[in-house]
Amino acid sequence: MNRDARESRLTEFTFSYLPPFDWKSMLAFLNYRSIPGIEHITENSYSRTISHDGTEGDFCVAFEDGTNQVRAYINYPNTRRLSSVIDRIRSIFDLHTDSSLIDRHLARDKLLRPMVKQFPGLRVPGCWDGFELAVRAILGQQVSVKSASTLVARIADRYGKAYKCVNPELTHVFPSAATLARGNLSQMGIINQRMAAIQSVASLIGEGHLRIDSTTNTETFVQLICEIKGIGDWTAHYIAMRGLNDPDAFPCSDLILRRAASLGDGSNTLTGRQLLACGIPWQPWRSYAVILLWKNYQHAQQISGSQIQS
């Protein structure tokens, strides 16, 4: 498809949000975990390919300081389903949230109060597709973020559908659950247990036994997905946080989180049980506390000159 034809299908929308919104931190989070060929992030924009109801497309969301608005440029030819594409885009950036309300709640806690003051308006990054997020989370277990991104990119390159886009950084559409359920993931640097876990999730989705979206109850989801060998509590709650859009999901076994919540400076490490107790006052916004603690820990490590993987 030529450049002019693809550009002619762009539909522009403007989304408003309630301040504060630290969208620069949101983009940094997504950029650090981006999948080459599927996503492309700049200092003020997020672009990606999509597949929705059997139709491929792409979009770009652009941010600007001081406007309390974002512009979305959507290339998706199925106009009857465009509204659901818009809903997903808004969900990725948590645009519906009243950050001031959540910040006030979290600031009641002695540990979080100075963090909220320093980093107001943090939101929970969502995802375009729950299965894609699950693959990314499974491959991210016990490896660095960048290593996981490399593995996911290999899957996308082998099994994703090639896609022509005005943005040369976008080259593929992420493969469907049905495609990976029958795919051969060997010889890609993925350990056997994680290959099996990915294909188990793919099969459950394909058979209609599992949905990874905001319609799914977190407790039911965690119970079901943790029955899969190789998927534990951290992975389940991380997916719930970003894929189910659960504002209270809490991956309390996360090592960085347990360090960040110890004294706020990572000098000690809480147990998962201790962190669970510590987080009781943060309910029903524990997912936002997670993002805040990760951000604060990362900031502290950058100041000290250390590098972290979370």
Let me know if residue 7 belongs to a domain: yes
- Region 80-107 average pLDDT: 98
**pLDDT more than 70, % of the chain:** 94
| pLDDT 10s digits, 3-45 | 434 444 789 999 999 999 999 999 999 999 999 999 999 999 9
The candidate with the shortest Cα–Cα distance to 90, out of 103, 63, 72, 65, is 72
Res 3: pLDDT = 40
pLDDT of 271 strictly over 90: yes
Into how many domains does the chain fold?
A: 1
- In tens, the pLDDT along 180-211 reads 999 999 989 999 999 999 999 999 999 999 99
Query: In this model, does residue 310 exceed pLDDT 50?
Result: no
Q: Residue by residue, what is the 3-state secondary structure of the chain? A: CCHHHHHHCEEEEEEECCCCCCHHHHHHHHHHCCCCECEEECCCEEEEEEEECCEEEEEEEEECCCCCEEEEEEECCCHHHHHHHHHHHHHHCCCCCCHHHHHHHHCCCCCCHHHHHHCCCCCCCCCCCHHHHHHHHHHCCCCCHHHHHHHHHHHHHHHCEECCCCCCCECEECCCHHHHHCCCCCCCCCCHHHHHHHHHHHHHHHCCCCCCCCCCCHHHHHHHHCCCCCCCHHHHHHHHHHHCCCCCCCCCCCHHHHHHCCCCCCCCCCCHHHHHHHCHHHCCCHHHHHHHHHHHHHHHHHHHCCCCCC
Return the ∠ at Cα 241 (arms to 240 and 246), rounded to 5°.
80
> Would you say residue 54 lies in a domain?
yes
- Residue range 110-136, pLDDT digits in tens: 999 999 999 999 999 999 999 999 999
Confirm whether 248 is domain-assigned: no
pLDDT at 174 over 70: yes
- Structure confidence at residue 264 (pLDDT): 53
**Is 292 inside any structural domain?**
no
CA dist 231 and 251 (Å) reads: 13
Domain interval for residue 89: 3-97
pLDDT greater than 90 at residue 266: no
Does residue 194 belong to any structural domain of this protein?
no
- Residue 267: its pLDDT value, please? 61
The verdict on residue 38 lying in a domain is yes
Q: 69 in a domain, yes or no?
A: yes
* Residue 197 placed within a domain: no
Contact 172, 37 (CB under 8 A): yes
Structure tokens at 1: 């498809």
Give yes or no for residue 216 having a pLDDT over 70.
Answer: yes
What CATH number is attached to the domain comprising 49?
3.30.310.20
Asked whether the predicted pLDDT for residue 167 surpasses 70, the reply is yes
Q: What is the mean pLDDT of residues 74-92?
A: 97
Q: How far is CA 30 from the centre of its chain?
A: 7
Query: What pLDDT, on the 0 to 100 scale, is given for residue 2?
Result: 37
Long-range contacts of 261-268 (CB under 8 A, 24+ apart): 261/111, 261/293, 264/111, 264/114, 264/115, 264/296, 265/300, 266/297, 266/300, 266/301
* Strands of the 45-52 sheet, one edge to the other: 10-16, 69-75, 55-63, 45-52, 39-41
